[in-house]
Structure 1
Amino acid sequence: MAFLPALLFLALCLTVLHAAAQAANHDNQLFAQANAAMQPGQLADAERILLELRARHPHAFPINETLGLLYAEENHLHRALPLLTAAVHESPGEAVAHANLGDALFKLGRLQPAAHELAMSAKMNPSDAATQSALAQTYMLLHKPALAVPAFEAALRQNGDDAALLYNTALACYQAGLPAKAEPLLARMPGVEESAEAQSLYGDVDEAMTHYEQAAQHYAAAARLDPSEPNIYMLGIEFMRHWTFDPAIKEFLAGVQRFPDSTRMKVGLGIAYYGGSYYDKAIPVFSNLLAQHPDNAMYAELLGRDCIVPGEGTVAQCADLASFAEKHPDNARIATYAAITMLHGPRDPKQAALARSLLVRAMQSNPKLADAHYAMGLLLQEEGKWPQSIPELETATQLKPDDAVAHYRLALAYSHAGRMQQAHEQIALQLKYSHAQRAETNARLKAVTTFLVKMK
């Protein structure tokens, strides 16, 4: 979220050369003429006079400062910079000289030295709101919001009703991890109810303060005031954060329809479907994303998570997993997902053989992938090889002790082998860890939601 730009005016140092032994009265008159020429914009005449004066007085602060400001006014910043630098060296106690040099450095993109000069000026003249605001904005661009906060606050003390300044200060507080300081600033900001940008920031602030209902209201207001892609996206994300998937689906659907080229909107829609257990609707979303980005492992994994749900693996788009696995033989997880989807489908010797080859390759690539050992055990059981499934399922439960389904399958294998005591033990573990399946899903959802928040 970008901060609102504040106007930073060049403070033209139109001082008259005071009488000095080294300066002739004629030069004072010429300097006055140069200043007069600058007023109506006759900068060429002013430049000519100032250059003539500088040839005779190369170290005179007023001449260097004024000529530097003239070049800055014309946006000839590279010509202005050495003159403004010289002026600071000639009169280091002049706050305006540091401010003007800082402004030129800022416009040239030299943010660190700009911050130094603006900080010097602000220290000398802390009541200069323009300098304090410029310093704060420089710190924001340097990703130092904690340093920006006191500078913005100093500017606010001089101009406490400025909406842009209030917004900028609130943004700096939020980014500095001080949402409690940001909230009252937004509350007193003129026009906050009509500003989509302020409402979006208000949502971020309330979310950080765990005021979730208010956060949703502010995000909704931002989307209503400005139904832009970022605002609709953040409203969907807000619903996702708190497991309210149906409202999230509604927002992401509207977003996809309004912004069909927004990849993150499609990803958000697919994950909202997944979180709401609408796996059949999530599958085509991730399948289409994978078709558009055939080497994107994240889209393949999201598709795989939907396809391995029992009953969903027969959806045609789940076949995309096998294609991805063939092109990316080192991706053990996708190979495992592809194999599991095959095992959930109708029994087919060719599919079983392909599933076996995928699982063998997955375990070679990642021997500690519990899901691959579980899937191999499942395949062996599908083939009636119950005793052979035991080592694979034992490995799966060792690698992933809270996998309730693996404990259940191992109990079945022990039962077929007549090892009833061990079967009962596995059933007990299956019951103990049954709640963990949903917890794991929730953890995955939290992880992908966090990713969505950061997704550009």
Structure 2
Amino acid sequence: MAGRRRRNTGARACQSARCHPGRQGNHHTGIVLKLSFLSIQRGTLLVALSFLLVCAATVRSLASPQATDAQDAFNQALGLLQAGKTADALTTIDNAIAAGARDPSLYNLKGLAAGELGHAQEAEESFRTVIRLQPNAAMGYNNLGVLLAKLGRNREAATAFHEAHTREPQNFNALLGLGTSLAALQKYDEAAGYLQKAWNLHPGDFQCGYEWAHTLLEAKQLSAAKKVLDQLGAPQEPDSAVKYYSLSGVVAERMNEFASATKYYGQAYTLDSGSYDIYLALVRATLSMDPEPGKTTLPAPPEGLSPSQNLALGLLFASRDIFDKAIPRLQAVLQTDPSNEVAILNLALAEKSTGKSSDAIDRLHRALASHPSAVLYNTLGGMEEGSGHYVEAVQSYQRAVELDPTNEQYYFDLGLEYLIHFTFGPAAEVYRVGTQKFPTSSRQYLGLGFSHYAVREYRQAADAFTTALELDPDSPAVFRAWDSVLDSLSPNDWQEFLPRLDRLAAAHPQSAELTFCLGAALFRSEFAKGQKAALDRSQTLLEKSVRLRPDFPAAHLELGALYAAKKMNQKAVDEYLEVTRLDPKSAVPHYRLGQLYREMNKLDLATTELTRYQELARLHQEELKRNRSTIQQFIIPQTAKPDN
């Protein structure tokens, strides 16, 4: 049942109830820290206000009464805006404009105030008026770009910043805004170029350096991003420091420098201990760094986690077998969401893994009493099998099939349960239905083949195994299954399979295994003809097989038999000796060597080989007795493809 246990733990990778917990998935969690670009709005608006002070000086230099009125209105509105009285500032500006003021500084300040109040259309109109009044200045374009970026109109924002950059190529805010907007459009390489130019104008500027490093990260230029962060250094301001350490952690984690990532995430979490995303990243990096997961002490998680957050943490801990930390998280999920199937499943698996199988089985029974579920029944079947409750296991697997007859895994598990307890008739029926419902699943045909093989229906077994080979020609498990029937099928019966094997070998000319299959089947089919046997093609195929894969015991063994049939005794001896070297536990080559040495009148060598054969055969029989089923080793979920 080891294969079944490995499959079920794959459910831990699910992140929500929508994820099917019974299917194996990719367990790699990836970078889940939600880093956002530092807002360009704040920095650019502050610069814009500074720009407005320059404009105010221009207003003061004008002698006309209208200019004096505009200056007074500007100063009054600016003071109100800085005092947080944005609505009053906007009213003051509107009154001045209504009185005839046409100064770009007032319209720019109006755009800022309207934007602060959420009046996006009014703000946009104001900034466009600034552009009309001062078409050769960057200020209006920059602030329009900030507004458009805030509204998510990144393509238009990039256009506005590009216009600002065209008018003032050395304008820091134009370069910063253009780079950030292009990054939002996922044009990372182009964005990085503009951000580097901005950095060259203001080396050490945190916002610029952060945006540049983040863009390089997205462009997968990890070493370059790390270099920028090293130049930048952590700022003193706490919020910015959190962003710096978080981004540094992501870069280090992407570079597989987990110790550094753990350090950076730890520093970020110290400053912001309420951040779930940072904590999750810290846990992930710590577990990736630690050769013995669970030994490293972790800080307490943030308080008030949601069910989905507790679930993600629980699954992360469970995926690394840290069950003492996984269980409390999963229990917390069920306190607020008692019917969460993913939490129930993974909590039961965690309990089983900590030696509490009876608790896990009881938990699944309670859950199933109120909410029948195919995946829970299938998991319950595996636990009941492991606890020795075989009848109950069959019933649970059967119930899973009934609840979800479209799931290939459930048919496979039910058939396997019958097989490993030698109930071959029901197993054959399950897999017969399985091959009809899932005709592209090679392992359904493996199960069917072994169901026939167990009752000595070798032709039917060979047919099923050959179909599995056609579906999954690269699978080692499928080849081993096919090879298992090679000595059992009557030589005359191989004739009907030759066309199929010929097509397979032709389609995969570099496959040593498929070349062997055709060569071995052809050899046996021809050998049955006696004196009329034509063995040359078989010899060519088997010799090709060992050339393609020199460490191939089965091919050397078959080639030895062919040489012996052609009375090429020394070549046969060489092949059998190679098998004993490649597979020291195999008894068959020793038996054949013993027989061959007798024919060659080398009686001492024959006696030695036959004695060794008897020893290995005895050990093999003892091993078979220790294993409850020799079938199970061929049919495990990881080595044969389910239905796609």
TM-score (norm 2): 0.52
Matches within 5 A, 1:76-95: 77=119, 78-89=121-132, 91-95=134-138
2-side partners of 1:431 and 1:348: how far apart? 19
Equivalent residue for 2:106, pick from 67, 86, 96: 67
* Paired letter, 1:53: G
Structure 1 match to 2:166 = 123
- CA offset at residue 184 of structure 1? 0.7
2-side partners of 1:391 and 1:308: how far apart? 31
2-side partners of 1:267 and 1:101: how far apart? 41
- CA offset at residue 160 of structure 1? 0.6
Deviates more, 1:385-394 or 1:355-364: 385-394
Query: SS at 2:389's partner residue?
Result: coil
- CA offset at residue 171 of structure 1? 1.5
Alignment pair present for 1:231 and 2:278? yes
Alignment pair present for 1:275 and 2:320? yes
Contact 1:16 1:32 in 2 (8 A): no
Structure 1 match to 2:382 = 340
Structure 2 match to 1:3 = 37
Q: 1:332 to 1:323 in 2, by over 3 A?
A: same
- CA offset at residue 221 of structure 1? 3.8
Alignment pair present for 1:181 and 2:224? yes
- CA offset at residue 74 of structure 1? 3.6
Structure 2 match to 1:373 = 412
2-side partners of 1:99 and 1:288: how far apart? 49
Deviates more, 1:293-302 or 1:66-75: 293-302
2-side partners of 1:358 and 1:243: how far apart? 41
TM-score (norm 1): 0.70
2-side partners of 1:306 and 1:180: how far apart? 39
Matches within 5 A, 1:41-52: 41=79, 48-52=95-99
Alignment pair present for 1:385 and 2:427? no
Identity of aligned residues (%): 17
Contact 2:258 2:286 in 1 (8 A): no
Structure 1 match to 2:337 = 293
Q: 1:274 to 1:106 in 2, by over 3 A?
A: closer
Equivalent residue for 1:358, pick from 399, 406, 425: 399
Q: 1:246 to 1:192 in 2, by over 3 A?
A: farther
Structure 1 match to 2:601 = none
Structure 2 match to 1:425 = 484
Deviations 1:402-424 (A, max 9, x none): 89xx98x9979955x46799899
Q: 1:115 to 1:2 in 2, by over 3 A?
A: same
2-side partners of 1:398 and 1:93: how far apart? 70
Contact 2:310 2:330 in 1 (8 A): no
Query: SS at 1:246's partner residue?
Result: coil
1-side partners of 2:148 and 2:636: how far apart? 62
Deviations 1:129-149 (A, max 9, x none): 123223444455566655543
Deviations 1:255-297 (A, max 9, x none): 44x5362543553344433433x66875675465356434544
* Paired letter, 1:163: F
- CA offset at residue 180 of structure 1? 2.4
Contact 1:170 1:186 in 2 (8 A): yes
* Paired letter, 1:38: F
- CA offset at residue 85 of structure 1? 1.7
Deviations 1:392-447 (A, max 9, x none): 468699977689xx98x9979955x467998993988866788958x99xxxxxxx
- CA offset at residue 174 of structure 1? 1.1
Structure 2 match to 1:448 = none
- CA offset at residue 362 of structure 1? 4.5
Question: Any stretches of 5+ residues in structure 2 without a counterpart?
Answer: 1-34, 81-88, 462-480, 486-628
Q: 1:281 to 1:38 in 2, by over 3 A?
A: closer
- CA offset at residue 361 of structure 1? 0.7
Contact 1:169 1:185 in 2 (8 A): yes
- CA offset at residue 120 of structure 1? 1.1
Aligned CA RMSD, in angstroms, stands at 4.7
Contact 1:287 1:320 in 2 (8 A): no
Query: SS at 2:212's partner residue?
Result: helix
Structure 2 match to 1:31 = 67
2-side partners of 1:385 and 1:108: how far apart? 67
Deviations 1:138-165 (A, max 9, x none): 4555666555433322221111112332
Structure 2 match to 1:159 = 202
Contact 1:152 1:168 in 2 (8 A): yes
* Paired letter, 2:36: A
- CA offset at residue 125 of structure 1? 1.1
1-side partners of 2:96 and 2:328: how far apart? 73
Aligned length: 411
1-side partners of 2:441 and 2:327: how far apart? 26
Contact 2:318 2:350 in 1 (8 A): no
- CA offset at residue 187 of structure 1? 0.5
1-side partners of 2:124 and 2:379: how far apart? 61
* Paired letter, 1:185: V
Deviations 1:211-263 (A, max 9, x none): 34433343344345544433332121124446846248843xx444x536254
Question: Any stretches of 5+ residues in structure 1 without a counterpart?
Answer: 18-24, 55-62, 441-456
Contact 1:95 1:124 in 2 (8 A): yes
Deviations 1:328-368 (A, max 9, x none): 66x6433322332333345386x4575254134146232xx
Deviates more, 1:356-365 or 1:123-132: 356-365
Q: 1:261 to 1:376 in 2, by over 3 A?
A: same
Deviates more, 1:418-427 or 1:80-89: 418-427
Structure 2 match to 1:215 = 261
